[in-house]
Structure formats: C-alpha cells, structure tokens
Structure 1
Amino acid sequence: MKNTDTRPAKHEPQSPWAFSTRELGRRAGAMRTVSREVPAPASPGVIGLEGVLEVPADSPVALQLSLEAVSEGVYVSGTASVGLAGECSRCLDELTDELTVRIGELYAYPDSVTEETTDADEIPRLVDESVDVEQAVRDAVVLELPLAPLCRDDCPGLCAECGGRKADLGPDHGHETLDPRWSALRERMSSD
C-alpha cells in the first residue's frame, strides 16, 4: 500500500535546533525570545561550502531569536553567530573567521491557508508545535560566504611556475622563460 501521508516528518525531540511554540498558542502578536548555543552538525553535510569555508562540526552556533505568532504561523527572526574555518583561495593557507547572519523565516501552521497554498519546500512548517531553525541557519550562512575566501585582501597567492607562496619568495623571485621556438637551437648548443 502506498503511503499518501503528506504531513512533514516529526522533529527529533532531542534536536537542539527545535524550539517549542506551545506557549505562543495561535494568538497573533504573542512573542517570545530565546537564546541558545547549539553544536554545528557533523552530518549530513556541514554548514557552509565543504572544503572551502565551513562551520567546523560540533563548533558552537549562538542563536538569538524571536518567535512571534502571526495569523498564518510563527515568524522567527534574529541572528546566528558562527565560527568559520577553511583555506585561502589564493595561497591555500588555513584561515578562520567569524560570521553573524540574520534569520527571518515564516513557519506555517498546520491547516493554514499558507500551508495549503505552498509547497513544503517553499515555506517550512510547524511540526508538533515547534520550529526547527537548522535549515534557515544553513541557508543564511551559505548566502553570506564569499565565493573565494582570502586570508587577507591583498594576498599575493602562489607562484604559477613553482607553487611557492609569493609572500615568502620575495620581490626578486622569477623563472627563466624560453620561447619554445628556440628549444631546438638550445638543444644543439648544449650538445656541443
């Protein structure tokens, strides 16, 4: 028999990313603020761009959030602060940074007009009177990450010839470049 249940899966009860909205009820305007430090997930997938710039697994993610009941659900707003680790895209040195992102997400009530008129992947849903903010944090962090992280703005990168760090090689570093059209003459001169 085919499963036709389209309700969202239940949040894991021990998930540190889930916040109860029970005390808000469905009273528009009711609000509560929460602060929590949760460990960054190790799997499935890290937060960020894996192997480029990411939130290290199990590092702290500081959440400062407001949960506000509105007519169609619960609006979650606030900030998430994370530490980042990765490598410079020019010199490949390790780098660390900190990032604070803004969160703003509506979680639709079950049986609301919003839930009925949107796909599950468009707007998250309340499940068992709680909101799970992990995906909202993931999305906000990824959108704020640089595509090419740098250890410093003026990083000179690596030498294209030898692969050495230009910052360590000095200003007089260079490589002899011969025109390939002269290679036959060079071979003939070196064999004599």
Structure 2
Amino acid sequence: MIDTREIGHRAGQSRAYSRQAPAPAGFGLDMIRVPEGEPVELDLLAESVVEGVLVSGTAAATLTGECVRCLDPISEEIEVEVRELFAYPDSATDASTDEDEVERVVDDLVDLEPVVRDAMLLSLPSAPLCSPDCQGLCSGCGTKWAELAPDHTHETIDPRWAALRERFGGTEEEN
C-alpha cells in the first residue's frame, strides 16, 4: 500500500518508494511461483496526475518451481515493469470508466498487490524448463534421459500383435 497523502493531489508531485513486501499465497502458476512470504522488491515512483496517481517502476522476486520435462527444482530471479493509473474518487477517469477497468485510490491509499501480481503472472513461463535442452524423462522407466546411455530403449509390442507372438513364440529375428 502507498499512502497518496505523501504526494498530495496536485499534478506534478512525485515520490520514489523502495520497499520490500512478503509475497501472498497463490502468487504464481502450477509449476512455478513466488513462494509465500518470499520478499518482493519494489522500486516505484508515484506521481500525482490530474486523474489520480500514476505508479511506475519495477518489482523483483525469486521464483521456485519444477521443470515440466524432468521435474528437477528450478530457482530463478524475475523482474517486471509495473505501470498503473489509480484514479481519484469522483475524477473524470473514475466517471468515464467501468469499475474494473481502472484501479482506484481508496481512502488515500493505493493497493499495489493486484497490479504486481498480474504483472508477474503474465511474465511467468507457463512451461518452465531447467535448461533449454532438457530432454525430460524416459516414458518407459522414468529415468532422466540425460542420465541414460545413448542406445537406451524399451521393447514395446503393439498389444494387437502380442497374441501372435505368444502363439508362435517370438519374432522372425528371434527364430
């Protein structure tokens, strides 16, 4: 939260903020997220404009998750740009937009959590990888391909042909 009384309601006033806030629960996707309580670094500038308060800057945090191919743990840094207008009550913007189109200044406070959360969620990879060339797991045995020999295979028999193999005792190569 930023208290807008510190910058006043006169256009042109501004104030820089450097803050650290704990990440709330559910701050991410299924395979990658900012862990609950992990610090989110905010470096912001709040500017008073005619319609309200324009907040711009960056938000940074440490992500943790799992590789979608091999399920190894992942940890990486993310930094996103934040830019949002918070409309004053009874301003022209407040009157000309729907309630959910523009964030609002409520009791001289702006709530940054939804803005930062949305910016981070849009920047997260939907399929995070431990490395761009991760080969994943063998579907036959579940071992990481990187740990297996290059000639690793599993003999699979089409179930429609399995009955013939049982009846005649193997393949041509085996006989």
TM over 0.5: yes
Give the aligned partner of residue 78 of structure 1.
Answer: 57
SS of the equivalent of 2:137 reads coil
Give the aligned partner of residue 159 of structure 1.
Answer: 138
Is the counterpart of residue 53 in structure 1 residue 32 in structure 2? yes
Is the counterpart of residue 33 in structure 1 residue 12 in structure 2? no
Q: How does 1:101-140 map to 2 (within 5 A)?
A: 101-140=80-119
Corresponding letter in the other structure for 2:42: L
* Unaligned residue ranges in structure 1 (runs of 5+): 1-17
Distance 1:140 1:34 in 2: 18
Corresponding letter in the other structure for 2:113: E
* 1:34-76 Cα deviation digits (max 9, x unpaired): 001111112xxx1111x31110000000000000001100000
SS of the equivalent of 2:10 reads coil
Give the aligned partner of residue 73 of structure 2.
Answer: 94
Distance 2:102 2:21 in 1: 23
SS of the equivalent of 2:146 reads helix
1:173 to 144, 152, 175: 152
The alignment yields a C-alpha RMSD, in angstroms, of 1.5
SS of the equivalent of 1:47 reads coil
Distance 1:34 1:164 in 2: 48
C-alpha deviation, 1:23, in angstroms:
2.4
Distance 1:61 1:181 in 2: 56
* Unaligned residue ranges in structure 2 (runs of 5+): 171-175
Distance 2:100 2:158 in 1: 57
Give the aligned partner of residue 24 of structure 1.
Answer: 7
Distance 1:34 1:177 in 2: 61
Distance 1:58 1:181 in 2: 54
Give the aligned partner of residue 64 of structure 1.
Answer: 43
Give the aligned partner of residue 173 of structure 2.
Answer: none
Structure 1 runs (4+) deviating above 4 angstroms are none
Give the aligned partner of residue 8 of structure 1.
Answer: none
